[in-house]
Amino acid sequence: MPEIRRRAGGLGVEPTVGSFEADGVEVRSRPVRHTSHPTVGYLIDTGRQRAAWAPEFWVFPEWVRGVDLMFADAAGWRRPIGFAGGVGGHACVRDVSAAACRVGVRRLVFAHIGRPSIRAIDRGERPAFGEWGEDGAVFRLRCKQLMRYAR
């Protein structure tokens, strides 16, 4: 955050958490339970598809229900990783995979991959549902606005 604030100041802008809409794409901040300070993920709606960016959370966010694509926490593999003092932590792949299935997430990509999950990858283990995110991967959502021009 200090680096973000420093760079923003150099540009004459103030960093903020909020929502944004342009060209038919809406990005809405949504709360996630992660630690003792306010934390958010983002729901991205193109008018045709929805994606959720929630790479860090302790409690699975119900607002991702039915999204086409979700980027999620994978810091833990078999069990969540709790922070000292019981102030939150990171979810585990096993629980995130099950919760994503329960709420109808269509495609699940694990984006915040912690050491326990890296060890599981090295052992050749795979989540019951979902896939590991990879550097440089590209994910596309269909946009209502862009479909007008494709005809």
Q: What is the pLDDT of residue 11?
A: 93
Per-residue pLDDT averaged across 75-80, rounded?
89
Q: What is the pLDDT of residue 85?
A: 83
Distance between CA 111 and CA 51 in Å, rounded?
13
CA-based torsion, 114, 117, 119, 124: positive or negative: negative
Distance between CA 10 and CA 2 in Å, rounded?
12
Query: How many Cα atoms are found within 13 Å in the side-chain-facing hemisphere of 129?
Result: 18
The per-residue pLDDT of the chain, averaged, comes to 88
Tell me, letter by letter, the H, E, C secondary structure of 39-105: EEEEEEECECCEEEEECCCCECCHHHCCCCEEEEEECECCCCEECHHHCCEECEHHHHHHHHHHCCC
Q: What is the pTM of this model?
A: 0.84
Distance between CA 17 and CA 106 in Å, rounded?
27
Q: Residue 150 to residues 20, 50, 146: CA-CA distances in angstroms?
A: 25, 20, 7
Distance between CA 73 and CA 111 in Å, rounded?
6
Least confident of 21-30, 45-54, 85-94, 117-126: 85-94
Closest CA to 64 of 86, 31, 34: 31
Q: Is the pLDDT of residue 150 over 50?
A: no
**DSSP 3-state percent helix, strand, coil across the chain (nearest 5):** 25, 30, 40
- For 80-96, write each residue's pLDDT tens digit: 887 888 777 888 999 99
Q: What is the pLDDT of residue 145?
A: 59
Domains of the chain: 16-150 (3.60.15.10)
Distance between CA 59 and CA 32 in Å, rounded?
7
